[in-house]
Structure 1
Amino acid sequence: MVKQARAAVTRQALISAAAEVFGADGYAMATLPTISGRAGVSSGALHFHFPNKEALASAVESAAAESALALTEESAQAEGGGRLQTLVTAVRRLMDAVAGDPVVRAGFRLSGDPSRKSEARLHDWWYEWVRDALAEARSDGELAEGVSAEDAAVVIVAATLGLETLGAADPYWRSTERVDQLWSFALPRLSGAE
């Protein structure tokens, strides 16, 4: 039992260290020796848990997806103002997580990293979640006449991923004020309410 607990701690340390390195350097520039050094574990321990860099990157992206999913679920449960309000809250929480959680930040960066040969699963998940939220808002009569849930999803996902990408170089873009600007512009065009 003690061995399993130690292995779980080591695995989590590797995922956290990898998130920091991938978030700072990107996938192509990140090295396994840098990650194992940052985690404070041997190269052998790293390879015991992850056979290669892609496996480690996938683990970071999976951990980020779990966190992002939890944020969206919390947003849906916390709000009573309908699906558009849930969407606004989810975007705010997600951008806060991108700014403050290295794993979420690295997961989104890895998902869009062209040097990886894998699919952009986290970006795809985010698009589907936003599209589904807007489709439900459409069904509930929350979207303005003539607003396509599909078109609105493309704009919101592009804007949020754009803020995330720009924020990698300058935290200004991840700020609450930038997210508020997004909603100040988009929400009046989306909402069917006065």
Structure 2
Amino acid sequence: MARQERAVRTRETLIRSAAEIFDREGFTVASLTTISTQAGVSNGALHFHFASKAALADAVEEAALLRLRILTDRPSADGPGRLQHLVDATHGLARGLREDVVLRAGFDLSGEPARPPRTDLRAHWRGWVAALLEKACQERELAPGVAPEGAVTAVVAATVGFEVLGNRDASWLAAGTVEAFWRLMLPMLAAEQLLPRLEAEGTALLNGPIGLLNPS
């Protein structure tokens, strides 16, 4: 059992080290030697767990997807329904991209032109936003005349834009940036009776530890 636990810890260490190197140097430039050195393991140990750099990148994406699912599955704190959940999730995503290198590297890898993504985090995010806004429409949370498809386009374009721009300028991932987006967006998106109850700054649950987004 101790050997198995060591193997699990080594694998997790390699994934995090790979995420840090991919985040800093990019997938194309990153080398397995640099990753193994940072992880404090031999090249042989790395190849025992991962046959190639592509396999390691796949594992980083999968670990990032798990974090994203934890983030999107977190309920809002006393929030009124689907739209508040969406607001909170976008704040959580921005915070995760600022503070969790595995999540950040996973999104970067999904847009890496040098390799086809095995787990496309941007596509997963779009699918989740689309499903949530469809439910919001069914539950009459959207303003009259607002089509879920159009709302999905606006929200996904903005949030993925924040993610991409945040690679060079962290202010795009700041809580104030996300809040400003929702203060502009919610009056056009939300039903009139719901709007006063929505918190563009996110609900109190967002003040919890970021460790909730980090399962490893």
Residue 100 of structure 1 corresponds to which residue in structure 2?
99
CA contact (8 A) 2:162 2:173 kept: yes
Kindly state the Cα deviation for residue 119 of structure 1 after the two structures are TM-superposed: 5.0
Superposition map of 1:39-188 within 5 A: 39-74=39-74, 76=75, 78-118=77-117, 121-188=120-187
Residue 26 of structure 2 corresponds to which residue in structure 1?
26
Q: Which amino acid aligns with 2:86?
A: L
Q: Which amino acid aligns with 2:63?
A: A
CA distance in 2, matches of 1:180, 1:80: 16
Residue 4 of structure 1 corresponds to which residue in structure 2?
4
Q: Which amino acid aligns with 1:61?
A: E
CA distance in 2, matches of 1:78, 1:47: 44
Deviations 1:131-155 (A, max 9, x none): 0110000001011111111111121
TM-score, normalisation: structure 1: 0.95
CA contact (8 A) 2:76 2:88 kept: no
Displaced runs of 4 or more, over 6 A:
none
For the aligned residue pairs, the C-alpha RMSD in angstroms reads 1.3
CA contact (8 A) 2:64 2:102 kept: yes
**Count of residues in Structure 1 that have an aligned counterpart in Structure 2:** 193
Kindly state the Cα deviation for residue 11 of structure 1 after the two structures are TM-superposed: 0.2
CA distance in 2, matches of 1:120, 1:98: 17
The sequence identity of aligned pairs, in percent, is 46
CA distance in 2, matches of 1:44, 1:137: 51
Deviations 1:94-123 (A, max 9, x none): 110010000011111111111212356211
Deviations 1:19-59 (A, max 9, x none): 11111222112111111111111111111101011111111
TM-score, normalisation: structure 2: 0.86
Residue 199 of structure 2 corresponds to which residue in structure 1?
none
CA distance in 1, matches of 2:82, 2:145: 18
Q: Which amino acid aligns with 2:47?
A: H
More helix by proportion, 1 or 2? 1
Structure 1 unaligned spans of 5+: none
